[in-house]
């Protein structure tokens, strides 16, 4: 059981840090400043890095196996997939199609 716990914990830490690195390493010289994109990028990148750091430094054997952590791992995985699909470009995560219903 401890091995599975360690594996899940390590997976979560790796996903957090990978998300952090992908968003932080994105660079576009022609990018223009948009407040909402910058805010989301900083929140996503910063919280991923901080959670990854906490996951690494506060790792304790046999402490993972709660439903909360399992669900959180799935959420982190979903965020990671979105970040990988957009290649770290947070602006790409914002839909360009109008989302309001217009009859």
Partner 1 sequence: MTERLGELLLALLIALGAAINHWAAAGAMFGCCFFLATPSTTVGWGRVGLGMFSFGIGYAAGIFLYGGGPPFNEKAMFVSGGLSAIAAGAWASLGKAIDKSGPLPPWLSDILDRVPFLKRQERSGDDNIG
Instruction: State the minimum distance, in angstroms, from the CB of residue 74 to partner 1.
Output: 22
- Looking at the Cβ atoms of 49 and 92, the one nearer to partner 1 is 49
Chain residues 30-89 in contact with partner 1, contact rule CB under 8 A: 31, 33, 38, 41-42, 45-47, 49-54, 56-59
Distances, alpha carbon 88 to alpha carbons 31, 73, 103, in Å: 13, 20, 35
CB atoms within 10 A of CB 99: 6
CA distance 37 to 79: 16
Q: Does 96 bind partner 1 (CB under 8 A)?
A: no
Among 27, 96, 100, 102, binds partner 1 (CB under 8 A): 27
Residue 33 C-beta: closest distance to partner 1, Å:
8
Token pair 């979560």 is found at 12
Name the minimum Å distance from CB 91 to partner 1. Answer: 10
Please give the distance of CA 11 from its chain centroid, rounded to a whole number: 12
């Amino acid at each position: 059981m401890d091995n599975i716990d360690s594996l899940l914990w390590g997976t979560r830490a790796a996903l957090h840090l990978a998300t952090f690195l992908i968003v932080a390493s994105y660079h576009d010289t022609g990018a223009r400043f948009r407040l909402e994109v910058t805010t989301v990028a900083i929140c996503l990148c910063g919280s991923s890095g901080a959670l990854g750091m906490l996951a690494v430094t506060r790792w304790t054997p046999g402490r993972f196996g709660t439903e909360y952590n399992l669900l959180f791992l799935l959420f982190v995985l979903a965020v990671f997939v979105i970040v990988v699909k957009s290649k770290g470009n947070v602006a790409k995560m914002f839909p360009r199609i109008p989302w309001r219903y217009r009859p």
